[in-house]
Amino acid sequence: MSDTDRELRVSKIRNGTVIDHLAAGQALNVLALLGIDGSGGESVSVGMNVPSDKLAKKDIVKVEDRELSQSEVDVLAVIAPEATINIVREYDVVEKKRIDRPESVDGVLSCPNRNCITNDDEPIRTRFAVLDDALRCDYCGEIVREEEVATHLDVA
Ligand code: CTP
Ligand code: ZN
């Protein structure tokens, strides 16, 4: 049985996005990033710790009828730089995006500093500068280490 056949443990999708080659353990963070908790009615398939050619084990997330916004791709680039984003239309992969590390991440993370202006009642879009291994709030300078990013996802 080929590796491709083995991957079929998670069904192919007709239209949508396949986020592939996620490090094992990242699937749930990706679902949090996308705001998917099952209540939105989307069809989502998740594979965790599935065998992979490129990684010993990988996670994979398939979301039907959805393409990712640039902000979502940007934060994905920070928490899962090894991921591949595949856009699927009528069962074919029509686009494969390698994700580039962004200069900033806008509107998807909340600042851990409770006194930060972005945590006041005023609706201010958050913005973090991407440093080598951390992010820095543009408004208050608070540092969020890369491994903490997933816990500050601002999911409504
Ligand atoms: N896929 C899917 N539904 C489709 C087409 C593809 O779920 N209709 C998934 C495949 O299972 C795979 C990913 O999308 O996990 C990428 O598909 P493809 O480019 O065909 O596979 P590979 O060539 O193995 O990809 P890569 O080179 O990125 O490993
Ligand atoms: Zn801040």
ipTM: 0.95
Q: Residue for token digits 């202006």?
A: 117
Task: Look at ligand 1, atom 7, and give the residue with the nearest C-alpha.
Answer: 12
pLDDT for 88: 96
Quote the DSSP letter at residue 150.
G
Task: Look at ligand 1, atom 23, and give the residue with the nearest C-alpha.
Answer: 4
Euclidean distance between CA atoms 62 and 15, whole angstroms: 10
Euclidean distance between CA atoms 156 and 145, whole angstroms: 22
pLDDT for 129: 97
- Averaged pLDDT, 85-108: 92
| 154 Cα: distance to centroid of ligand 2 (angstroms) | 13
Contacts of 129 (CB under 8 A, 6+ apart): 103, 104, 135, 136, 138
pTM here? Answer: 0.83
Task: Place 154 in a pLDDT band, splitting at 50, 70 and 90.
Answer: confident
- Averaged pLDDT, 139-144: 97
pLDDT for 2: 54
| CA nearest neighbour of 104 among 79, 81, 71, 80 | 71
* CA of 53, closest atom in ligand 1: 29
Euclidean distance between CA atoms 62 and 45, whole angstroms: 5
User: Is the pLDDT at 155 greater than 80, yes or no?
Assistant: no
| 12 Cα: distance to centroid of ligand 1 (angstroms) | 8
pLDDT in tens, 41-75: 889 999 999 988 877 899 999 999 998 888 888 88
Residue 109 in tokens = 């993370």
| 83 Cα: distance to centroid of ligand 1 (angstroms) | 12
